Amino acid sequence: MVQMRDNAAAAPRPSLVDAAYAALKRAIRDTALAPGYQGSEQEIALQLGMSRTPVHEAVIRLQEEGLVRVLPRRGVLVCALSPEDMREIYEVIVALESAAAALIAAQPKKQRKPVATALEAVNAAMAAALAAEDLPAWAEADGRFHQMLVEGAGNARLVRIYAGIMDQSHRARMLTLRLRPRPILSVQEHAGILAAIRAGAEAEALARAKAHRQRAVAQILPLLAQLGMRQI
Query: Which residues, 6+ apart, have CB-to-CB distance to 41 below 8 Å?
Result: 52, 55, 56, 59, 75, 76
Query: What pLDDT does 2 receive?
Result: 38
Cα→Cα distances 50→46, 54, 64, 130, Å: 6, 8, 21, 38
Domains of the chain: 2-78 (1.10.10.10), 83-226 (1.20.120.530)
Query: What pLDDT does 178 receive?
Result: 66
Query: What pLDDT does 156 receive?
Result: 95
Quickly list DSSP for 130-192. Answer: HHTT-HHHHHHHHHHHHHHHHHTT--HHHHHHHHHHHHHHHHHHHHTTTTSPP-HHHHHHHHH
pLDDT digits (tens), the chain, 232 positions: 434 344 444 555 568 889 998 888 888 877 788 788 899 999 988 888 888 899 999 999 898 888 889 998 889 998 877 778 888 888 999 999 999 999 999 999 999 999 999 999 999 999 999 999 998 899 899 999 999 999 999 999 999 889 878 877 777 666 666 667 777 899 999 999 999 999 999 999 999 999 999 988 888 778 777 766 565 6
Query: What pLDDT does 14 receive?
Result: 60
